[in-house]
A and B are shown apart, each in its own frame.
Chain A
Amino acid sequence: MMKLLDISKKYGEITHKYPFEPYKVSDNFRGKPAYIFDLCIGCAACGIACPSNAITVQFNDDKSKLVWEFDCGRCIFCGRCDEVCPTGAIKLSEEFELAVKFDKSALIQRGELDTQYCTTCNKPFSAKRLVKYSFECLSKANVSEKRLEEAKNYLCMCPTCKKTATVATFTSGKEMVIE
């Protein structure tokens, strides 16, 4: 008995005061992925990387918006979305207080992005921001003016129309910018 008291004296009080005092998680703790809507370009890289499909990126019913949706209840905090996101719009935070009562929809985060329609066939195929971002990348990547001008056109086309347009320019013998 005395021995036990000695041991407890040696180690002192180790119980965390939480929840009556805030608890500081350790470094590099993987908490809830924090979403910064203003940075998201709707590229869906996170949706593809997410192993448990906690993130989905899909068009809404009338295809006027590209809806990014994250269900915290399904997230396994692996950090793959953080790894692949090109703009840092989703980053694991240190938030661990995630429990909700009665209503599960409190776990959901969503963002609606404007749709980019194909300039040729008017089919929705991507988010406007993604096109803008791609152009921004290209304009900083040392490509010639002429090629940039060309990019402006083909960035706004859906993959099928892009293919047709490329074949059409090739076969009609139009000049192509090849670097």
Chain B
Amino acid sequence: MKTYEIPNEIELANTLEQKLELLKQIGRSFSVFRIDCGSCNGCEIEIFAAITPLWDPERFGFKLVANPRHADILLCTGPVTRQMYYPLLRAYEATPDPKIVVALGACGVTGGIFYDAYSVLSGIDKIIPVDAYIPGCPPHPASIIYGLTTALGVLEQKLQKVSFEEEGDLPPLVEDSVLGNTLFERDLLVQAKRLMSYVFGRKLFDKYIKALVQSGNTKDPKATKVSITEAIQTEEDPRYAECMGILHNEIYTQYVLCEEEDKIDLHRVIWGAK
């Protein structure tokens, strides 16, 4: 649905050639006007992080201005709420021609997490023509700098549309279980993720399995207790150490017959933490 017809004179003054010509001219000094079209302010915080001395975009002439009439580039954030629709259009029309419009953040590019909310138009390009898209929620200051320098032609664009159409062979995905029962691995991974979230949970799972295999006989509760305790003692990070003990006590004992004394004592002093 098109809600806004671009006036003829603006359209004529904003052809691709004219924009490229402008980009050539403003190469080392350009003014940016920032419009917040209903963003959650995450993007704004990152824009201001990007103009701190840590990133210092004035190295290549980036300058925020307070008035669209002084701007070369419009930096639009947010999914365009109904309230911000007219202010966006006024800023767009007030900017001198030719103008470059940059959509910043997942919201600006497509509506992001708010794309199907009732009060938004989801994306700057639904209303006005956009020249550069910077995805991210919010984009890292480096991504913003990259986006602007790409728009200016200093750096090359890296992403291209990727489409896989032919299926190759599926590599073998399921590994043999160390206990001869894949349910053990399943429960172990679920518990590991519950304890330490998915990124660290996977690392915990790998560490635990490695220690278990090192015991020589994974089905012998005495041998595994020794090797897991050893792994706990050598582990630098106390979180992994304790969670390995918890995994052993909670999951391993369900799959291998264990006495009470085969469980690992989780009290830190006993396994000799540094």
Contacts and interface: CB of A to CB of B under 8 A. Distances in A.
Interface of A: 14-16, 18-19, 23, 25, 28-29, 35, 37-39, 41, 51-53, 71-77, 79, 82-83, 87, 95-102, 104-114, 128-129, 132-133, 136-137, 140-142
Contacts of B143: 96-99
Interface stretch (B84-92, B155-163, B214-222, B237-245): B155-163
A104 B106 contact: no
A105 B157 contact: no
Given A75-B135, A97-B158, A113-B167, 16 more contacts: A16-B142, A19-B149, A28-B199, A29-B140, A39-B171, A73-B110, A82-B199, A95-B158, A99-B147, A99-B157, A100-B132, A101-B131, A101-B151, A112-B165, A112-B167, A136-B174
Given A25-B140, A75-B106, A14 B54 contact: yes
Interface of B: 53-56, 59, 106, 109-113, 115-116, 125, 130-137, 139-140, 142-143, 145-147, 149-151, 154-155, 157-165, 167-177, 180-183, 193, 198-199
Contacts, number: 172
29 contacts: A16-B55, A19-B149, A37-B164, A41-B170, A52-B106, A52-B115, A71-B110, A73-B109, A74-B109, A79-B198, A79-B199, A83-B198, A97-B146, A98-B147, A99-B132, A99-B157, A101-B131, A102-B132, A104-B125, A104-B130, A104-B133, A107-B133, A112-B164, A113-B167, A128-B167, A129-B167, A129-B170, A136-B172, A137-B182
Nearest to A89: B173
Contacts of B132: 99-102
